[in-house]
Amino acid sequence: MIACPCEVCSSRDKKDNRLRSSILVQSATTTLVVDTTPDFRYQMLRANVRKLDAVIFTHPHKDHLAGMDDVRAYNFFLKKPMDVYANEMTQESIVREFPYAFADMKYPGIPEIRLNRIDKEPFMVGDIPITPIQVWHLRMPVLGFRFGKFTYITDANRIDEEEKEKIRGSEIIVLNTLRREKHISHYSLPEAIDEVRDLGVPRAYFTHISHQLGLHAVVNPELPPGIELAYDGLLLKI
């Protein structure tokens, strides 16, 4: 966190140095990201992502959306609009927050976006099958996504039983965990551990971690078997 003198924010352990939450999903032929955070540009530079086929959005909060303008680099090199998948609520925010990208008279060099509407129905991006899972971020419906045996859920603190059924059978889940103490719109550490157990997913990685959670080297060894803290650059093969 900017200007914070705490032990996590001043830690030299790379696993304590986090940018905002996002994942890159890659198959043999298709590459997509979930969310374009304010750090999207640096995240793509850091991971040397040369080709990006699509962006899928979970919800319109700024820490998940603000970096979308930088897809224009992919427009330029891939010579096509970026396919963006979002539900109605998120699409309204995209159009409101990046109005110049949807203007009738477009200034040269602005991002070219092709909006694709999603809701709760499964869809494909290239050869990647995706099942949306609706979860609750206080009162905001947020989309999690299941890709085969892998499920990604950020920004939630409650999941309805019928949506949990869509997650069960996953081999790996990534779930948000903000801190140890309870929070109004994110899972706390004890809540996230309980949720992983209830879902019966054997491997879990916690993401969207606040500096309030504590040092990676202290918290990670305390976690039950099969559960770990995620960190920037973590690579999982499924």
What is the binding site for Zn ion (CB under 5 A)? 61, 63, 155
Which amino acid type is present at position 190? P
- Least distance CB 15 / Zn ion (angstroms): 19
**DSSP H helices in 98-206:** 161-167, 189-199
Contact criterion met (CB below 8 Å) for 115 and 94: yes
Query: 147: which 2 tokens?
Result: 């890709």
- The smaller minimum CB distance to Zn ion, of residues 63 and 191, is found at 63
- Least distance CB 185 / Zn ion (angstroms): 7
- Least distance CB 44 / Zn ion (angstroms): 19
The residue at minimum Cβ distance from Zn ion is 61
- Least distance CB 156 / Zn ion (angstroms): 9
- The smaller minimum CB distance to Zn ion, of residues 61 and 216, is found at 61
* Residues whose CB is less than 8 angstroms from the CB of residue 167 and which lie 6 or more positions away in sequence, other chains included: 133, 144, 146, 151, 153, 159, 173, 199, 201
The Cα–Cα gap between 49 and 25 comes to: 11
- The smaller minimum CB distance to Zn ion, of residues 70 and 155, is found at 155
> In sequence order, what DSSP letters do the residues of 2-38 get, joined into one string?
TT--STTTT---GGG------EEEE-SS-EEEE---T
- Least distance CB 140 / Zn ion (angstroms): 7
- The smaller minimum CB distance to Zn ion, of residues 74 and 118, is found at 118
- Least distance CB 230 / Zn ion (angstroms): 14
Query: 48: which 2 tokens?
Result: 């040397």
Query: Would strands 150-153 and 140-147 be described as parallel, antiparallel, or unpaired?
Result: antiparallel
- The smaller minimum CB distance to Zn ion, of residues 11 and 93, is found at 93
The Cα–Cα gap between 151 and 31 comes to: 16
- The smaller minimum CB distance to Zn ion, of residues 63 and 97, is found at 63
Give the other-Cβ count within 10 Å of 139's Cβ.
8
- The smaller minimum CB distance to Zn ion, of residues 61 and 146, is found at 61
- Least distance CB 137 / Zn ion (angstroms): 5
